[in-house]
Amino acid sequence: MSRTLSASEAGPAADAAGDYAAHVAELGGRYAEAARTGGFDAIVVGSGILEYRFQDDQAHRFVASPHFLQWIPLEEHPGSAVIVEPGRRPVLVVYQPEDYWHQPPALPPEELAREFDLKVIRKPGDIAGLLPAAGKRLALLGPEAQWTGLAGEAARNPETVVNVLHYRRATKSAWELACMRRAAASAAPGHQAALRAFREGATEYDILAAFLAGCRQTEPELPYGAIVALNGHGATLHYQHRDREPQPPRDVHSLLIDAGCACNGYACDITRSYAFRDDDFAGMVADMDALQQELCAAVRPGLAFPDLHRRTHLGLAALLQRWGLVRMAPEDMVREGVSAAFFPHGLGHLLGLQVHDVGGHMADESGASLQAPADFPRLRFLRTLEPGQIVTIEPGVYFIESLLRGLKASPAGGHVDWDRVAGLMKYGGIRIEDDVLVTAGEPENLTRPVLGD
Ligand code: GLY
Ligand code: MN
Ligand code: MN
């Protein structure tokens, strides 16, 4: 078991300067290829702008464009941009207004800034004077609102460019891997604190508070809305509420917590499921944990992810059979859609600057799509695994009323022990999710070593 990193070790590190320089050089190569493919002389990558609530002076939380964040982790910098002209040093434009209502965005630290020509602007429109000369073919990336009234002839988010960048984003640089390892390390004390709170009978609201305090992140900083689901709430895959009403211990049965942290804009995505007492559901959770670890260990380059999804269904079907929920051979359960009624989502997805990262359906840099398999037409991730990709592995079993109603009405419904299922409804479901790096050999599980479970 590996130790858990402390918060300071898990924070953005200054020791990664070499990796960061190599990362910027790698991105420069990708952008040069994207520019060549699209027929552009330069690509300008905007961070986005601050958006306001309808007829209100209150802004939404700013979330920088992932294209911009991949260049430099300036997460609180609306109106900024990176100008990429192949063959030249990239230019970093930081919008830093004079503002005494808010703390103006900071300039980047020297170990990041030195990879760029740094330009500071005080008004958003000042970027116009920094754009490559008229006559150059420009592509502008990022939310289009940032480019209103600027470079009217320039292409906005051209697909030819975006396709190259999205396809390539699946493969992480050493610097990106370091950020993602740190994101996992930050989340670990949060998950441990959440488990302690659950054991003490805390509400969903208090379990989330324990998670946030454990990882020292605010809720808006999380890479996705944390899912903290007690009891039957676990059957809602993306359950979003936080009950505050304490339950007597006899009414507490289970916790499903799907919550991650971000580091420099890079996410981790971690789920754990727990039983409140030592009962059959606890046994099913342990069984699921063993299956999940087998699936993580099977991650190898050259493996088509839909094949691993299919293997997951067979494993889950065997679990349903073992625990007496369904009396059918696992192969038959998968073919008849029985396992799908208990596991209606995909095994996993690409992870990175977005929790469900882009490019999962892409066949190549041209934007062509991979064909989903006929038996699983709605998977998020269809690609063949390659070293450098980080994927989630998140099998689950849920007791979802609407899906079970459909199963009951189907020919296979007669093979289900409905009394057994009825007794499990109060637990909601089980999901166990780790983040796994594909390497040339053994996969690296980013989650287990820091969670220590
Ligand atoms: N946290 C959302 C997911 O696991 O995909
Ligand atoms: Mn996930
Ligand atoms: Mn998740």
CA of 119 to the centre of ligand 2 (A): 38
pLDDT at 341: 98
Cβ-contact 208, 222 below 8 angstroms = no
List residues, by chain if needed, whose CB lies under 5 Å from ion ligand 3. 258, 269, 271, 433
Query: What Å distances lie between residue 418 and 245, 329, 409, 415, CA to CA?
Result: 31, 17, 12, 9
Query: pLDDT above 90 covers what percent of the chain?
Result: 95
Query: CB under 6 Å to ligand 1: residues?
Result: 224, 258, 269, 355, 394, 433
Q: Which atom of ligand 1 is nearest to the CA of 224?
A: 1
The reply to whether the predicted model has a pTM over 0.75 is yes
CA of 394 to the centre of ligand 3 (A): 7
pLDDT digits (tens, 9 = 90+) for 110-160: 999 999 999 999 999 999 999 998 899 999 999 999 999 999 999 999 999
| Host H or E run for residue 262 | strand 262-263
At residue 437, the 3 state secondary structure works out as: strand
Is residue 258 predicted with pLDDT exceeding 60? yes
CA of 332 to the centre of ligand 1 (A): 28
Q: Which atom of ligand 1 is nearest to the CA of 260?
A: 1
pLDDT digits (tens, 9 = 90+) for 192-237: 999 999 999 999 999 999 999 999 999 999 999 999 999 999 999 9
The β-bridge partners of 445 are 436
pLDDT at 17: 84
To test the ligand 1 pocket, which listed residue (272, 273, 355, 357) has its Cβ within 8 A of the most ligand atoms?
A: 355
Is residue 56 predicted with pLDDT exceeding 60? yes
- Concatenating the DSSP letter of every residue in 117-157 gives EEEEESSGGGGGGGSPPTTS-EEEES-GGGGTTS-TTSEES
Dihedral (Cα; 452, 239, 274, 346), 10-degree rounding: -70
Number of other CB atoms surrounding residue 242 within 10 Å = 17
- Of all protein residues, the one whose alpha carbon is nearest to atom 4 of ligand 1 is 269
List the structure tokens of 255.
């916790």
Is residue 434 predicted with pLDDT exceeding 80? yes
Is residue 294 predicted with pLDDT exceeding 50? yes
The average pLDDT across 419-429 equals 98
Q: Which of 184, 195, 189, 257 is nearest to 226 (CA)?
A: 257
CA of 344 to the centre of ligand 1 (A): 13
Mark out the alpha helices in 250-299 (DSSP H runs).
Answer: 280-297
Q: Which of 209, 239, 41 is nearest to 132 (CA)?
A: 41
75-79, long-range: CB < 8 A, 24+ apart = 75/264, 75/265, 76/105, 76/106, 77/47, 77/105, 78/47, 78/48, 78/49, 78/50, 78/105, 79/47, 79/49, 79/50, 79/121, 79/124, 79/127, 79/146
pLDDT at 1: 29
Q: Which atom of ligand 1 is nearest to the CA of 271?
A: 4
Is residue 384 predicted with pLDDT exceeding 50? yes
Dihedral (Cα; 95, 97, 102, 105), 10-degree rounding: 30
Going by the DSSP 8-state scheme, the letter that residue 186 receives in this structure is H
Is residue 325 predicted with pLDDT exceeding 60? yes
Q: pLDDT band for position 15 (50/70/90)? A: low
The average pLDDT across 416-441 equals 98
pLDDT at 116: 98
Is residue 315 predicted with pLDDT exceeding 90? yes
| More confidently predicted of 241 and 18 | 241
Q: pLDDT band for position 6 (50/70/90)? A: very low
**Residue with token string 């402390």:** 6
List residues, by chain if needed, whose CB lies under 5 Å from ion ligand 2. 269, 392
pLDDT at 365: 98
Number of other CB atoms surrounding residue 301 within 10 Å = 15
Cβ-contact 392, 434 below 8 angstroms = yes
CA of 356 to the centre of ligand 2 (A): 7
CA of 401 to the centre of ligand 2 (A): 22
Q: Which atom of ligand 1 is nearest to the CA of 227?
A: 1
- Of all protein residues, the one whose alpha carbon is nearest to atom 5 of ligand 1 is 356
Domains of the chain and CATH, by start: 7-168 (3.40.350.10), 174-451 (3.90.230.10)
Q: Which atom of ligand 1 is nearest to the CA of 356?
A: 5
Is residue 11 predicted with pLDDT exceeding 60? no
* Average pLDDT of the chain to the nearest whole number: 96
To test the ligand 1 pocket, which listed residue (350, 379, 394, 432) has its Cβ within 8 A of the most ligand atoms?
A: 394
Q: Which of 1-5, 37-41, 231-235 has the lowest mean pLDDT?
A: 1-5
Going by the DSSP 8-state scheme, the letter that residue 302 receives in this structure is T
Query: pLDDT above 70 covers what percent of the chain?
Result: 97
To test the ligand 1 pocket, which listed residue (433, 434, 436) has its Cβ within 8 A of the most ligand atoms?
A: 433
pLDDT digits (tens, 9 = 90+) for 21-32: 999 999 999 999
Going by the DSSP 8-state scheme, the letter that residue 278 receives in this structure is S
